[in-house]
Structure 1
C-alpha cells in the first residue's frame, strides 16, 4: 500500500531496510550504498539508525528512493573478502532453529556441502555474506519442519547447535550481528548473575559472559560461611525467578492489547526469545485479569 507525497508516493521501508542490512553484511558501507544508488546519505542511514515509532527506524520511504537502493548489488560494489562473523552467526542461528546445512545450501545459492566450509572460513566473499544475510531474513522465523525437514533431523540439528552453544535468531540484534565484538543476548540480562540464573532456569546453553558474572558473584561472596552463602544464592535465584514471572505477566498484557511480540519485547527491554520463553515457563494463572 502506498501513500501520496508531494515528492512521490511513500511505501513501506522494510524491503529497502533489509536490503541495506544485507549489503552492509557484505561489507558495503552506508556511504557506498548512497553513492551507488544514488540517494542522500541521510536516507540510507535513516533506514537503519533513525528512531521511529515501532521498530526503531524509518517506516516509510519514497518509492523512487527504494527502487534505487534495491538496485544496488553487492557484486557490483564489493570485490574482495569481508569479516565472516555475521555470516557464521546467521548460519548458526538458523541451525539453532533446526535448519540442516543440506537444506540451507539451495536457499543461499551454494552447494549444500559448501555451507559447512563457510562456517570454517576466516574470511568470505562479500557476495556470499550478502546471500546468507538474504536467506536469513527469509528463514529466521520459518519452521523447517514445514519445509520438508523431518522431525528427527530437526531435533538432531538443534542438538548439534545446542552442543556448540550457537545462539538462535532471537538472541541477535540485526544492527549488531555483523559486529565481531558483539555478543548474543540470550536472556535479556546476559553478563550478570541474574542472567546466569535465567540460563539455568530456562535450560539455555550457558554464555561465557554469564558464567564470568556468576564466578565473580561467587568470588565476591566467598567470605561468607556456607549457610549464609546458601541463603544468598537462594535469594539471587528467587529474585531472578520472580522477575521472570513479572516479565511474563507484562508480556501477556501487552500482547492482549494487540502489541506484536517483537515490539512487546523491545518495550520490556528483553529479547523476543527471552520474552517468549518467560511466558512459556510462567503461563497465566487462572485469576490473572487480561484486557478484553
Structure 2
C-alpha cells in the first residue's frame, strides 16, 4: 500500500480504543456509544443470553462433510476463522475447550449458511499468507510449511499472488499452521542456521508471530493492517498523515487533535519522513 493511500487500520472499529489506546474524539465516542447501547440493552432485559452451541457444531460438521470448509463459513458470515473453528475443535496450544455456548447473533449467522445457498468456492489468500509468515517468525522456513500443507515447494510464494484461493487449500494451510505453531523447528529437522535466518527475515519484514494474531483475531481480515513492530512515533506519524490528508489541518492543529505537543509530531515526522506531507506550520 502506498503511503499516500495508507489508512490507519485502527480507526474504524472498537479495537482502536481498546487495543491501541487511541483517544481521538470520534473514536472515543464510538466506544462510548457501544457501551451505552450495551448498558441500555441489559437494563431493558433485551441483552441476548448465550445459547447451546451443540446444534451449531452439528451444522458446521454437515457443511464440512459437504465440502464447505470452516474458512468458507468464516468468509460468508464475516466471523473470524478462529471463532468458527472453536465450535468444532478446541485450541490445543492454549488448552481452550471447544465452544459450548454462543450469542444469538453468532448462531443466526452460522445457521444461515446452507448447502443450497453456498458452495465450497474461494477465499482471500491473505490469511494463508499471514500463517506462512507467522511460522517464519518462530523459525519455520516456508519450504517446510509448504510440504506439510501438501503444496509443491516451488509454488509456495506464487500461490498467494492470485486474488483468490481455493477454500480447501486455505483450510489445509490453516490446519498445518495450527499444528506447526506449537512445534519446535529444531525437533523436526530444521537446522539452527535455517531457524535463525527465518526469524531474521520475519524481523526485517515485520511479520508478526502467532501470538500477535491470537491477540487481535484478525489473521483472515484483509482490511486489517498489522501494526506489529511499529513504534509509537511511527503510529503518531501515520495518524497525523491520515488526519492532515482527510481534514486539511496543518501540523500544529493536527498535534492538538492527537493530544501531543507539536515538537513530538515534528520528531515523529523526522524519524518517518515517508508520512510527512511537508506542511510544517
Q: TM-score by structure 2 length?
A: 0.46
Q: TM-score by structure 1 length?
A: 0.45
Q: Which has the higher contact order (CA 8 A, sep 6+)?
A: 2
